[in-house]
Amino acid sequence: MVGGGTAGAVLAARLSETPGLAVTLLEAGPDDDAYIPEVFDPAQAPQLWEGKGPMALTPMATETGVIPMQQGRILGGCSAMNGLATLRGQPADYDAWRAAGLKGWGWADVESTFIAAETDFDFGPSAIHGGQGPLPVRRWKQEELSRAQRAYYEGMLEVGEPHVADINDPSQLPGIGVFPVTVGADKKRVTTSLAYLTNEVRARPNFSLRTNAEVAAIAFDRSRAIGVTLESGEEVEADEVVVSAGALWSPLLLLRAGIGPADHLAEHGIATRVDLPVGRTMSDHLGPGMLYRHDGPRGGTAGPAQVVLVGASNGKDVDYHAFPIAPAPGQDATLFMMAVFSMRSSHRGSVRLGETPESGPLVTAPPLPDDTTARLGHAFERLAAWERSAAARELGCAPVVPHDLAAPDAVATALERLTLSYGHMVGTCPMGPVLDADCRVREVEGLRVCDASVMPTIPSGNTYLGCVMVAERVGRKMAAGRA
Ligand SMILES: Cc1cc2nc3c(=O)[nH]c(=O)nc-3n(C[C@H](O)[C@H](O)[C@H](O)COP(=O)(O)OP(=O)(O)OC[C@H]3O[C@@H](n4cnc5c(N)ncnc54)[C@H](O)[C@@H]3O)c2cc1C
């Protein structure tokens, strides 16, 4: 297995439950005992996003500038540095996968996997929440929110958004609620490696973990993957190779192996093994970030992104998230960023080979299409109402650069000033065109992908829990096939 990140850690643990399967997990970064204190403290997540700790920095080129994208290069991957939001997405997201012909991926199939993966300390065990899964899920209490987050929550209630107690209950949406997060009783982050790669799992005789082991290439014998070559030159043989290197690095490894668009491979002098649209259909949640300031000191330190407005303009579908991001400790305590992301979009970026096949991935995101900016416009209308609310005015919340959110060019202007990525890149090796419904790469043998890359379209919630779900299901399918 290549990559012990969010999905890789889950998959390795599940596969090694089957004694007849020997699992070798190769992770480019260090083991999780190298986690720095900021990994555990949710309030310090913004420091990780700025590159503190073992990270891989990949620039994402957009029309309005480069978004420097940090990702965890360590066991647990992005689950060791993300914003901890633990959301499933909407039933319609997965029903669209099923409707596209991907058997086993509709909401009726995947909901039970989400439930089984969690222990929800607020709402489980229940019909829609688990009580025995590896991931501990909790929600911050109102008194743990920062003053800006409380003003946001109270202001949104005031302007008519309903309170949502449980954002993972689709029947309660849309409205304003607090993100569920994956933290222990001590409120410290729990990554997928901490939750799944336990001492008991590590002690299994059929499981072997190698950290600081970056895979450079997938080795083939004709059309069968037979192992990998590490950066050091060492070769590791395998009956089957599973690539879980994340949405930017998994497609890169496939492209290096000649699996990808023939024209692009030819540009780099790589012989095409299989002509597949690898890296051509990247989705992400993109949107503007606007800086605000409020009067007086900040209060509450629970985490960077706890209160979210989950918007919907189309039935129960979630069209956008808007939420305040508190500053990291040490920064101006009265500043906060209001992040607004479109959760549904026809936007497609790409991941390509860089200057040479050995370089890191070249990631580009074209301008946001009209469907996306329309959703952002809807979110701006709600934010404009919030700016006028008594709660926002009482706290003295005001944009640092004055703006009129109702102006026709408000979205375009905000996007020009600062476009953010939620870090939710998916769909670069999608099930359907590139993989079958068991995540096997088409037209070759012995090669699968299992991570954010496989998602054919982006869920309308944050993507980490979706990666856990994918890995749980791929693990089950693989174990059933080999047990
Ligand atoms: C800044 C940021 C904030 C985010 N916030 C949230 C959030 O709050 N909630 C949420 O749900 N989602 C969030 N996400 C997204 C979410 O974390 C990811 O979608 C998800 O974790 C991706 O999981 P993955 O398994 O696909 O990849 P990763 O978790 O990135 O795992 C890939 C692993 O592969 C390893 N690897 C890469 N290349 C190689 C190689 N050549 N050889 C060996 N190993 C390799 C990496 O070191 C890494 O451990 C955020 C993402 C970012 C970047």
Cα–Cα distance for residue pair 463/8, rounded to 1 Å: 15
Task: Choose between 344 and 415: higher pLDDT.
Answer: 415
Q: Which amino acid, 403?
A: H
Output the average pLDDT for the chain. Answer: 93
Q: Which atom of ligand 1 is nearest to the CA of 26?
A: 43
Find the helix packing angle between 464-482 and 6-15, rounded to 10°. Answer: 30
Q: How confident is the model at residue 99 (pLDDT cuts 50, 70, 90)?
A: very high
**Cα 160 to averaged position of ligand 1 atoms, centre (Å):** 36
pLDDT band at 135; cut points 50, 70, 90: very high
Cα–Cα distance between 281 and 258 in angstroms, integer?
18
CA 476 to ligand 1 centroid distance, Å: 21
From atom 47 of ligand 1, which residue's Cα is the shortest distance away? 73
- Pick the residue whose CA is nearest to atom 8 on ligand 1: 83
461 Cα–ligand 1 center, Å: 15
pLDDT band with cut points at 50, 70 and 90 for residue 312: low
From 24, 90, 464, give the residue whose CB has the most ligand 1 atoms within 8 Å, as the site to mutate: 464
**Which residues does ligand 1 sit against, CB inside 6 Å?**
2-8, 26-29, 49, 70-73, 77-79, 82-85, 214-215, 244-247, 249, 423-424, 451-452, 462-465, 467
Position 150 confidence tier, pLDDT thresholds 50, 70, 90: confident
Cα 135 to the center of its chain, rounded Å: 16
Residue 5 CA to residue 30 CA, distance in Å, equals 11
**Is the backbone of residue 96 left (phi > 0), alpha (psi -120 to 50) or beta?**
alpha
Which residue, judged by its Cα, is nearest atom 20 of ligand 1? Answer: 464
> How confident is residue 113, by pLDDT bands cut at 50, 70 and 90?
very high
- In the chain, % of residues over pLDDT 90: 79
Question: What is the whole-number distance in angstroms between the Cα of residue 56 and the centre of ligand 1?
Answer: 10
Q: Which of 268-272, 285-289, 303-307, 391-395 has the lowest mean pLDDT?
A: 303-307
Spacing, Cα 2 to ligand 1 middle (Å): 13
Tell me the CA–centroid distance for residue 413 and ligand 1, in Å: 30
Vertex 295, ends 293 and 297: CA angle to 5°?
Answer: 100
- For ligand 1, the distance from its centroid to the CA atom of residue 244, given in whole angstroms, is 9
> Of all atoms in ligand 1, which is nearest to the CA of residue 83?
8
Residue 297 pLDDT exceeds 90: no
Q: Which residue has the higher pLDDT, 100 or 316?
A: 100
| CB-count burial class (<10 Å; 0-12, 13-18, 19+) for 59 | middle
217 Cα to the center of ligand 1, angstroms: 20
**Is pLDDT of 336 > 90?**
no
According to the model, what pLDDT value does residue 314 have? 55
Q: Would you say residue 301 has pLDDT above 60?
A: no
The encoded tokens of residue 96 equal: 């669209």
Which numbered atom of ligand 1 lies nearest the CA of 70?
53
Lowest-confidence segment of 70-79, 189-198, 225-234, 291-300 by average pLDDT? 291-300
Q: Whose CA is nearest to atom 18 of ligand 1?
A: 464
Closest ligand 1 atom to 179 CA: 8
pLDDT at 324: 85
313 falls in which pLDDT band (50, 70, 90)?
low
Ligand 1 center to 143 CA (angstroms): 30
Give distance in angstroms: CA of 77 to centre of ligand 1.
5
Helix 107-117 and helix 91-99: axis angle, to 10°? 130
User: Of all protein residues, whose CA lies closest to atom 9 belonging to ligand 1?
Assistant: 85
- How confident is residue 483, by pLDDT bands cut at 50, 70 and 90? very low
What distance in Å separates the CA atoms of residue 468 and residue 463, rounded to the nearest whole number?
9
pLDDT tens digits along 267-288: 999 999 999 999 999 999 999 9
Compute the distance between CA of residue 246 and CA of residue 5 in angstroms, rounded to an integer: 8
If one residue of 67, 424, 425, 474 were mutated to test the ligand 1 pocket, choosing by the most ligand atoms within 8 A of its CB, it would be: 424
Q: What is the pLDDT of residue 141?
A: 86
Closest CA to 261 of 360, 358, 352: 352
Q: Which atom of ligand 1 is nearest the CA belonging to 213?
A: 43
304 pLDDT above the threshold of 70? no
Superfamily holding 6-198+282-439+449-482: Glucose Oxidase, domain 3 (3.30.560.10)
Sheet holding 235-237, edge to edge: 215-221, 224-230, 235-237
Give me ligand 1 centre to Cα 45, in Å. 14
Domain boundaries, the chain: 6-198+282-439+449-482
Stretch 425-442: mean pLDDT: 98
Nearest atom (ligand 1) to Cα of 84? 8
